[in-house]
Amino acid sequence: MKNFYSKLIAVIVLILTSSVYAQHVFFENRYGTSSENVQAKLEFDKQNYDVFFDSPDEKIYVSKTNESTQRNDLNVNFTVNLVSGGHTGVNVLIYNETGLWSRHVYNGQNSADFNLEPGVYDIFTTFNYYATTRRYVIKEQVNISENSSITINKADATNKIVNEIYNEYGEVLSPATNADYAMANNEILINNYPNILISQSSLWFSGTSEDPVWAYYISDVSDRYTMNFNLFSQASTGIHYFPKYKLLNGISESMTTPNQIDNMVYHEEKPFQSSIIAEESQEEITSGFTVINTFQNFGTFIAFTIIGNEYEPGSRFKSMINPDLNGEITKTLIAPGIIEKSYGSIQFFNKGTAFTLDSQNNIIYGDQSIGLNDYLLNNYLNRTDEGTKYIPFHPKFSFTKHESQGMVYGNNIPIINTAFFSNIFIAGAIGRYGEFRESDFISAEIEVYRDNVSIFAGDYITLTLDPMFNTPNQFEIKIINPNTMVDGVQGKNITQVFFDNNNEDSFPPSLQMLQFRNSDNMITHNFMSGQEGFVRLAASDFNFSGFLVYNYNEGNSVQLFYSLYNQEEWSQLTLTNYPEHFFVPKFGDYYEASLAEIPQPQGNDVWYDVKVICTDAAGNKQTQTISPAFKLNSTLQAEEIHENNDFIVYPNPFNDNLNIQLPKNIKGDYIVKLTDLTGRIISAQNKKSTDSKSLFYSFLPKGTYVLSIESNGKTLAKKVIKK
C-alpha cells in the first residue's frame, strides 16, 4: 500500500509518463501553508523514477527510461551562466529533438557545466522562489558545436501569464484577497516537435498578499511550444471550480486569460459513507477530491488529492465544471473522497469514481477509481504504445448521473481485486460504483497457507512487505473484510486465492468488477423481484510481466452462485459471456446474468449473498463471497425515492442569486415558491421547464427559507440559507 500524504502544499510538479516522450522528469517542490484546512496528498508512480535530487524543499525524479548524454572524446564543454536574482531554486534542462538530454540543479554556484555531443539544443531553465511566481526562460535551437557558454537571466522571463477563475456570476475568485479560497494551477509546457513535455506545476495556497501564484513569467517562445492550463479552486461557498482555458501556442506578450462562464455545468453528489472502522476509531474524517489532468492522447498522469475541512455526514461534493475548450486534447477527471483512518504514517483515502463531461456536457462517471497496475495508486489512465488515454469508460460499467440516482459511495459490499507484481501480493477493494476503499485493509484479516500449512496471519500492510510467494509450492490466501455496511446491515467479503507455483502459469485469476442494475439500467441492490434485476461482472486471468503491462491469458472460466443471506445454500445462476465487451486493461472478459431465475421469496427486504468462482486454465482459482449483495421484495429506501425525484439548488448558502436544477420528471409548467419557516409565502413564480433556472432574491434579509417546486400535483422542497 504505497500512499503519500503531507500537511505541506505540493506546489510544483513536472511529470511525463507516456512512452512517446523523450524526456521524463518530475519536479516536486513542497512549501508550507498557514492554513490547516488546505492539505495535499500527492500520488504518482514513483517506482518508475529515480530520485536525481533530494532536499527539504524539492525533489527531482527522473524516469528510468530517459537517455542522458554520455561523456566521450568528441563531446564539447558547455557552460550556462545563471543570473538568478536571489532565486535559489534553479533547474536547467538541455535537450534536443532526438531525445538526448542533460540536466543541472542549482548548487549555490552561478554557473552550470555540461558535457554534450555537438548539436542543436533547447535550454530550459526554471527559477523558483517559494510561494512567489515561477519564471521560465527558454533558449531555442542553440547550436553547440564547440566549447562555449551562454548567459541565462531570470529577467528574460518578461511575459506575465495570469489565469483567472470566474464563478457563474462573473465574479473573480481571488485568493489574494480572501483567505477562504484555495487554488491550484496546472501548467503543461510541450515542445511540439519531439513531443517533449517540459513542465507541469500545481500551486496550492490559501490566501496571500503576494503575487497570485496562478500567475507565472516566461520568456518569448515560438510555436514550437504550447502551454496548457487547468485551474481548480475551492471557494468559500464550498463549491469546487474546475475551469478550462484555451491552449497558448507560442508566447510573445503578457496576457490575462479568463475561463468561460456561459457554459459552466453544476454538479453535486453525496460523499462516502464512512466505514465501520472509522466510526469505531472516532478519528477525524476529512473530505477532499482528486484531480487528474490529461493532455492529448499521450498526456500526463497526475493525481492530486486535496483534503479540506472536517467531513460532515450528509454533506455533498459541489462542483462547477467548464467543458473542454480544446476538443479532446485535454481532459479533467474529478473524484471526491474521504480520508478516514491512519495506519502509522499512512493515510487511507477512500476514492470515488472519476467523473467528467461528455461531448454533450452531461456528467458521466468512469468504471473504477483505480487499477492494480499502478500498485494501488491512482490509475485513471491507460498507458499504451500509442500514448496515454484516460481509462473511463468501460461501456458496461460506466454510468450517467441518471443511472446512479441514489448513489452513496461505500453503501455496498465491495469485491476484492487480486494480483501479483514481482512476487508481491496486492489487492484492492472495489465498490459497486467503482469506488476504491483503502481503509478496508486496516481491518482485513489475512491468512496464508503454503502446502496447507499456515505461514502467515496478520494484516494486509505487513503481507505486502513480505515476498513469501517466491518458492515452488501451492499457496492459499484468505482475506476477510468485515469493514462494510449496506443499508445499515454489516456485511463482509471473503476472498480465497489458490495457486500453484509449480505451474508455468501461477498467476491466479480475479474478479475485476461487479454491478447490479435494474430494468431501468440504474445501479442498485434493491429489487421488487428478480425479474427486474441483472448482474454485470468482469473477470479475467491476467499476469504482469512488468510495470503497467497486462498480459491476458485465455481459458478462465467463471461461475456465479446465490444463497439467502448467511445460509450457505448455494444455487447457480446462468452467466452469459459477451465477447464484444471484452476490455483491457483491468477488466478482461465480460458476463451478465438475470436474477429472474431466483424464486420470489416470502416477506419484505430479503437479502441474498453471491459467490463468484474464477478458475484459469492452469487450475489456479479465486473464490469470492459477497454478503449481503442484493435484496428482493425491497421496500425502497426513502432516500432512494427522494433521490430519484430530487431537485438541486446552488449555491446554498447564497448571496443574491439562487440556481435550480430540475429533476428529469418535471416537464412543462411548474411553480417555484419561497416561504419562511412559518409557511408565509414570500415569492411565487410560474415557470416553464425551458426558462432560465436563476432566481433573484437580493431583497431577502439573512435567514433560512424553504424553496419548493410544484408540478403535476406534487411538491418538492429544500431549505435554503440567505447569507
Highest mean pLDDT among 315-329, 354-368, 502-516, 671-685: 502-516
Mean pLDDT of 320-324: 83
Which one has a higher pLDDT value, 219 or 467?
219
Residue-wise burial string across 694-717, b where 16 or more C-beta atoms lie within 10 A, e elsewhere: ebebeebeeeebbbbbbbeeeebe
Q: Are residues 541 and 601 in the same domain?
A: yes
Instruction: Specify if 715 maps to a domain.
Output: yes
Name the least confident of 69-78, 207-216, 475-484: 207-216
Q: Which among 560, 553, 599, 597 has a CA at the least distance from the CA of 577?
A: 560
In this prediction, residue 388 carries a pLDDT of 46
Q: Are residues 624 and 661 in the same domain?
A: no
Name the least confident of 233-242, 498-507, 582-591, 701-710: 233-242
Distance between first and last Cα of the chain: 44
Q: Are residues 456 and 546 in the same domain?
A: yes
The pLDDT confidence band at residue 305, using thresholds 50, 70 and 90, is low
Q: Are residues 61 and 73 in the same domain?
A: no
In this prediction, residue 351 carries a pLDDT of 81
Instruction: Specify if 397 maps to a domain.
Output: no
DSSP assignment letter at 575:
P
Given 157, 186, 215, the domain boundary residue is 157
Average confidence score pLDDT of the chain: 76
Give the CA dihedral 19, 21, 24, 30, nearest 10 degrees.
-110
- Residue 493 near residue 514, CB atoms below 8 Å: no
Instruction: Specify if 103 maps to a domain.
Output: yes
The pLDDT confidence band at residue 402, using thresholds 50, 70 and 90, is confident
In this prediction, residue 503 carries a pLDDT of 86
Q: Are residues 567 and 686 in the same domain?
A: no
Residue-wise burial string across 112-123, b where 16 or more C-beta atoms lie within 10 A, e elsewhere: bebebbeeebbb
In this prediction, residue 290 carries a pLDDT of 76
- Residue 211 scores a pLDDT above 70: no
Q: Are residues 59 and 78 in the same domain?
A: no
- Residue 234 near residue 182, CB atoms below 8 Å: yes
Residue-wise pLDDT for 602-641, tens only, equals: 888 899 999 999 999 999 999 999 999 999 987 654 344 4
Strands 657-661 and 694-696: antiparallel
- Residue 370 near residue 303, CB atoms below 8 Å: no
CATH of the domain at 129: 2.60.40.10
Instruction: Specify if 4 maps to a domain.
Output: no
Which one has a higher pLDDT value, 515 or 263?
515
Mean pLDDT of 67-83: 77
Residues 6+ apart with CB under 8 A from 282: none
In this prediction, residue 28 carries a pLDDT of 61
Q: Are residues 254 and 356 in the same domain?
A: yes
Residues 6+ apart with CB under 8 A from 121: 94, 95, 96, 141, 142, 144
- Residue 436 near residue 415, CB atoms below 8 Å: no
Q: Are residues 288 and 213 in the same domain?
A: yes
Q: Is the dihedral of CA 355, 357, 360, 363 positive or negative?
A: positive
Q: Which among 290, 187, 203 has a CA at the least distance from the CA of 245?
A: 187
Q: Are residues 76 and 35 in the same domain?
A: no
CA distance 248 to 683: 47
The pLDDT confidence band at residue 369, using thresholds 50, 70 and 90, is low
In this prediction, residue 646 carries a pLDDT of 65
Instruction: Specify if 134 maps to a domain.
Output: yes
Given 343, 359, 390, the domain boundary residue is 390
Which one has a higher pLDDT value, 121 or 167?
121
In this prediction, residue 44 carries a pLDDT of 53
Which one has a higher pLDDT value, 42 or 469?
469
- Residue 699 near residue 683, CB atoms below 8 Å: no
Residue 565's alpha-carbon distances to 492, 609, 623, in angstroms, are 11, 5, 17
3-state secondary structure 512-572: EEEEEEECCCCECCECCCHHHEEEEEEEEEEECCCCCCCEEECCCEEEEEEEECCCCCCEE
- The count of domains in the chain is 4
Mean pLDDT of 662-686: 82
CA distance 103 to 93: 4
In this prediction, residue 608 carries a pLDDT of 98
Mean pLDDT of 388-405: 75
Q: Are residues 546 and 650 in the same domain?
A: no
Phi, psi at 642, each rounded to 5°? -60, -45
Given 123, 157, 191, the domain boundary residue is 157
Instruction: Specify if 396 maps to a domain.
Output: no
CATH of the domain at 690: 2.60.40.3080
- What is the reported pTM? 0.76
Instruction: Specify if 398 maps to a domain.
Output: no
- Residue 389 scores a pLDDT above 80: no
Instruction: Specify if 351 maps to a domain.
Output: yes
- Long-range contact list for 207-211, CB < 8 A, 24+ apart? 207/34, 207/35, 207/175, 207/176, 207/177, 207/178, 207/179, 207/180, 207/181, 208/131, 208/175, 208/176, 209/176, 210/131, 210/132, 210/176, 211/132, 211/133
Q: Tell me which residue range forms the domain holding 124.
A: 68-157
In this prediction, residue 13 carries a pLDDT of 30
The pLDDT confidence band at residue 99, using thresholds 50, 70 and 90, is low
Which one has a higher pLDDT value, 401 or 70?
401
CA distance 382 to 720: 42
Q: Are residues 238 and 380 in the same domain?
A: yes
Q: Are residues 654 and 567 in the same domain?
A: no
In this prediction, residue 508 carries a pLDDT of 92
Mean pLDDT of 47-71: 64
